Amino acid sequence: MLRLTGSAFPRNHESIIAVQFPPLLPQNPHRIVKSIPLPLRSDFLPMTGGAGTSTSTTPPRFKRTTTRRCSKKAIKAVESKTNGEDFEVEDSSVVGPVPRRLLLPQPQLGSIVPRKFFEIDSLDLAPCLLGKYLRRDNVVLQITEVEAYRPNDSACHGRVGITPRTAPLFGPGGHAYVYLCYGMHMMLNVVADEEGVGAAVLIRSCAPISGLEEIQERRGQKTDKPILLTGPGKVGQALGISTDWSHHPFYESGGLEILDGPELENILIGPRVGIDYALPEHVSAPWRFAIADTPWISAPKNTLKPR
């Protein structure tokens, strides 16, 4: 019960209002309930002044101090991976146990993918790269979208043969092929198949896993939205690579590595982007692959369909 008195009430008059406070959480006995101004409605304030006159008090305003809650859908998605268990967080700003369902789990990075993994047809390698991790020092990205380029493909750089620019494309599987596009974008490719074949997989989009501040600094964008890494030029910029990284082996420790990731069930496929110069059968070939149910995919998205 809360007893109110003051100048807003006539002498010898008291108004008693029942106020229900939320119970303290049993798992957090140190929770502090801050006192806040109690807004008073004019319809239960007593009349004051002369006959026929009344005064009203404007309720004081206050801001909501509770934190935003996670959606039930998001909580259930995380609980399915954590079994709904609680755990302690070493944070001076947090008192008591924190429900595990409110925090997203950090992915478990796998080991470096071996060379043999890359020595297959680029059309087979492309979907296998989805979900894998690209790591350069503190920056880790998860591959979310790729495109396959094959031998005898009119959209592949290998169509012109071996040149100083395309030589890395004809190197061993598992090496990097980085080329400059439009004089400004560094495009990262993973060479596929055996040496001399001339096939690769273009990394079109990624999702940030760690090193976000460094990614933002390289990209010149202070955002954590998909625009940060949805596009092959953005991926190259986020990793801080140049054409000097061509021939670099992804399967060796140090520098730029590809690490194993989770197995994926839902994959989208569609035609590749920006290859109008190629033959019609290659323009329409569904050699673009992306992880389903993720916003970290470049445009256009409406050409991607479930595999």
Q: Which residues pair with 134 in a beta bridge?
A: 141, 258
Confirm if 161 and 233 have CB atoms less than 8 A apart.
no
Here the contacts of 107-110 (C-beta below 8 Å, separation 24 or greater) are 107/133, 107/142, 107/209, 107/261, 107/262, 109/133, 109/135, 109/140, 109/209, 109/259, 109/260, 109/261, 110/259, 110/260, 110/261
pTM equals 0.67
Residue 304 phi/psi, 5-degree rounding, is -95, 135
Q: What is the pLDDT of residues 165-175, one digit of tens each?
A: 999 999 999 99
pLDDT above 80: residue 272? yes
Confirm if 196 and 169 have CB atoms less than 8 A apart.
no
Here the contacts of 4-9 (C-beta below 8 Å, separation 24 or greater) are 4/38, 4/40, 8/40, 8/45, 8/48, 8/55, 8/57, 9/45, 9/46, 9/48
Mean pLDDT for the stretch of residues 40-69: 43
CB atoms within 10 A of CB 6: 9
Q: What is the pLDDT of residues 56-113, one digit of tens each?
A: 445 444 444 334 444 455 445 544 544 444 433 333 333 334 343 333 345 778 899 9
Q: What is the pLDDT of residues 7-40, one digit of tens each?
A: 444 444 444 444 444 444 444 444 444 444 444 4
pLDDT at 169: 97
Percent of the chain scoring above 70 in pLDDT: 65
pLDDT at 174: 98
CB atoms within 10 A of CB 66: 5
Q: What is the pLDDT of residues 111-132, one digit of tens each?
A: 999 999 999 999 999 999 999 9
Residue (of 37, 30, 83) closest to 57 by Cα position: 37
User: Using CA atoms, how far apart are residues 166 and 277, in angstroms rounded to an integer?
Assistant: 18
DSSP, collapsed to helix, strand or coil, labels residue 210 as strand
pLDDT at 292: 97
Domains defined along the chain, listed by start:
72-102 (no CATH), 115-306 (3.10.300.10)
pLDDT above 80: residue 249? yes
Q: Which residues pair with 200 in a beta bridge?
A: 149, 191
When mean pLDDT is compared across 36-40, 45-49, 81-85, 226-230, the lowest value belongs to: 45-49
